[in-house]
């Protein structure tokens, strides 16, 4: 049996498109810090 040209069944699709997926941004670690980058609207400021 040749798999070339056959559709591939992806089991994670429903979870991702329904909003139930788990992403790196969802990870919360105790003591985690956040950073913010501010950029000037003026050149060389």
6-36 per-position pLDDT tens digit:
888 888 788 888 888 888 888 999 999 999 9
pLDDT tier, 38 (very low <50, low <70, confident <90, very high otherwise): very high
Please check the confidence at residue 45 and state whether its pLDDT lies above 90.
no
Give pTM, 2 decimals: 0.37
Domains by residue range for the chain, with CATH: 1-45 (3.90.1170.50)
Contact 43, 34 (CB under 8 A): no
């Amino acid at each position: 049996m040749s798999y070339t040209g056959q559709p591939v069944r992806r089991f994670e699709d429903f979870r991702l498109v329904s909003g139930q997926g788990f992403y790196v941004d969802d990870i919360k670690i105790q003591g985690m810090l956040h950073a913010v980058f501010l950029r000037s609207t003026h050149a060389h400021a």
